[in-house]
Amino acid sequence: MITIPNIKYFFPFIQISTKESVFQSGCIPFYRSTAACGTGDQNVVLGIPSTENTREQINTLTSFIDASTVYGSTVASEKKVRNYSSEEGLLRVNTQYSDHGRDYMPFVDDIPSLCLQDPHSVSEERVECFLAGESRSNEVVSLAAIHTLWVREHNRLAKALKNLNSHWSSETTYQEARKIVGALHQIITIRDYIPKIVGSYAFHQYAGTYQGYNENTDPSISNVFSTAAFRFGHATIPPIVHRLDSQYRESQLYPNLLLSEVFFRPWRIIKEGGLDPLIRGLLGKLAKLQTQKQLMNEELTEKLLVLSINGSMDLASLDLQRGRDHGLPGYNDWREYCRLPRLNTSADMKMVISDDNIISRIMEQYKHPNNIDVWLGGLIEDLLPDSRTGPLFACLIAKQMKALRDGDRFWYENSMMFTETQRKELEKHSLSRVVCDNTGLSHVPPDAFLTGKYPDDFVSCDSVPSLDLEVWKENIEKRTSCGLPMKIENGDFVFCSEAVLIYFCYSGYHLEGHEELACQGNQWSTKPPFCSGTVYYRALQ
């Protein structure tokens, strides 16, 4: 059943009918997205004469598929998650609790945090919010579990790389491990996930195969992608968080939970079995099937918890109003953008929506297809074959993925990033392998995004391919006749070729002297530079 709230164009509240809602006050709070400086009415705030300048929203995260959820989107957030005392280039981990010998993410530094506590705990000891590269990691425990998985993967890779290359500094080891984790995010997203969401035909049509880095491609996240199209995922969230035992059966020790029981409750991970039951639940149970008759479950429309708000929220209403807040054009305009036919009548809508009752209710609310919000219009389209989206969202998502891939100078397939041998090794990896390497699971689906029945559709972790890190081993003795150059304080060097290296300074320090050194005969061309003690701060571009 679809409930379309009577959303008014005013802030900071959304007015909702109380007939079918738990919101007895008739409204829920809503805060507008922050406007970018110099857009909308920001000119007035800055004392600039009023000019017609469309309001644009600030994206505080990196747009690239670069594992920023692990490492942060700013230098400041990255510094918080790194372990600078380690010689292995590790990320910080929890010093109070462990998961059967495996690491948890650290807790946030500002305590007491807002995360909810175990109401039945007899101890005053708190379980704080986890600290990750992305602030939303605590929203639900299954999301926190995935964040934890990637922290463990970075540290696993970093330790292995340092073991292979004992001459690497902590900084070099960290950056190389981060580079691999970023590449794995790209591979798993583009190769394993997105084609299943938009369908193989739409992916080929709108994204196609990689043709190399294109400096003219804008890799920014489009407003319609972040505010509408990729929010299709909200309709795939199940109302139950499953926790399964080693045989992928419902756990007797840790029963399933309603989604509303896991919002901002990291204690449920630490005190109730760790990651393994949750990861099995994600692998062994289906996502919610997106249907036209039930787009979003009531755990999200009636019981959504936002820590900064007193009371429950309605995610569907927030999604609709967010699109209006951002000034997104309507459903038909985006269909035209994707070269899909505009829908002008109820009869036209039957081409993409097979349920007559849904069409009737939509037309009753919106009167004309031109008025339909793009988020809702995209959700109610019939799914394309072999996909989880309709034609509009398939277009918008695939186009965005193409831009993120082609406009990224550091995309893993760019020849400057990895050797051909390293790329082949990276492509052996999978999310199933990441699970095997960083949890206690012994059996997984060959493809983590396709579920099946246990044990018939599962394989032993021993048979899941993994990358061979030996191809990252450097043989310094054979690399150059000049030997290793001098290390510098507050900085390091990397080899660009067998005879050329580049020095760099750590964040906050300034390089003085020659950045590049060349091996000439049996000695380096110049003296190494040094990193100035004067700290320079620069704004992120």
* pLDDT number for residue 342: 97
Cβ contact 394:387 at 8 Å: yes
Q: Which residues face 258 on adjacent strands?
A: 240
Which residues, including other chains, have CB under 8 Å from residue 94's CB and lie 6 or more apart?
103, 104, 105, 106, 107
Cβ contact 437:285 at 8 Å: no
Q: How big is the CA angle at 16 (ends 13 and 22), to the nearest 5 degrees? A: 110
Strands (DSSP E) found in 172-307 = 240-241, 257-258, 304-305
339's tokens: 């070269």
Q: Which residue in 173, 223, 176 sits closest to 396, CA to CA? A: 223
508's tokens: 């906050």
List, run by run, the mean pLDDT of 10-residue segments along the chain (541 residues): 45 63 66 85 62 82 95 95 96 97 97 93 90 95 98 98 94 96 98 98 97 96 96 95 97 95 96 97 92 87 81 88 95 98 96 95 95 97 95 98 97 94 97 98 97 95 97 76 79 75 83 86 83 52 31
Phi, psi dihedrals of residue 28, rounded to the nearest 5°: -125, 150
* Residue-range domain boundaries for the chain: 480-532
Q: Which residue has the tokens 């199209």?
A: 229
* Helix, strand or coil, per DSSP, at residue 70: helix
* pLDDT number for residue 3: 47
Buried b / exposed e over 293-321, threshold 16 CB at 10 Å, is eebbbbbbbbbbbbeeeeebbbbbbbbbb
119's tokens: 């109401």
* pLDDT number for residue 51: 61
Pick the CATH number of 480-532 from 1.10.3720.10, 3.30.379.10, 1.10.10.10, 2.10.70.10: 2.10.70.10
| Rounded-to-integer distance, Cα 274 and Cα 268, Å | 8
| Rounded-to-integer distance, Cα 485 and Cα 472, Å | 20
* Helix, strand or coil, per DSSP, at residue 185: helix
* pLDDT number for residue 539: 35
| Rounded-to-integer distance, Cα 102 and Cα 92, Å | 13
Residue type for 526, please?
T
| Rounded-to-integer distance, Cα 441 and Cα 244, Å | 11
Cβ contact 185:376 at 8 Å: no
Crossing angle between the packed helical segments 170-187 and 141-164, to the nearest 10 degrees: 130
| Rounded-to-integer distance, Cα 406 and Cα 411, Å | 8
Crossing angle between the packed helical segments 275-284 and 141-164, to the nearest 10 degrees: 110
Which residues, including other chains, have CB under 8 Å from residue 475's CB and lie 6 or more apart?
none
**C-alpha distances in Å from residue 444, one per residue of 57, 151, 269, 427:** 41, 20, 20, 18
Q: Is the dihedral of CA 443, 445, 449, 451 positive or negative?
A: negative
Q: Is the dihedral of CA 162, 165, 170, 176 positive or negative?
A: negative
* Helix, strand or coil, per DSSP, at residue 431: helix
Compute how many other C-beta atoms are within 10 angstroms of the C-beta atom of residue 141.
26
Ramachandran class of 264: left when φ > 0, alpha when ψ lies in -120 to 50, beta otherwise: left
Q: Which residue in 288, 316, 305, 302 sits closest to 375, CA to CA? A: 316
Give the distance from CA 113 to its chain's centroid: 23
Q: How many CA atoms lie within 13 A of 107 on its CB side?
A: 21
Residue type for 413, please?
E
- Full DSSP string of 303-327: -EE-TTSSSEE-HHHHHHHHHHHTT
| Rounded-to-integer distance, Cα 518 and Cα 521, Å | 10
User: What pTM did the predictor assign?
Assistant: 0.87
59's tokens: 């994206």
Q: Is the dihedral of CA 474, 479, 485, 490 positive or negative?
A: negative
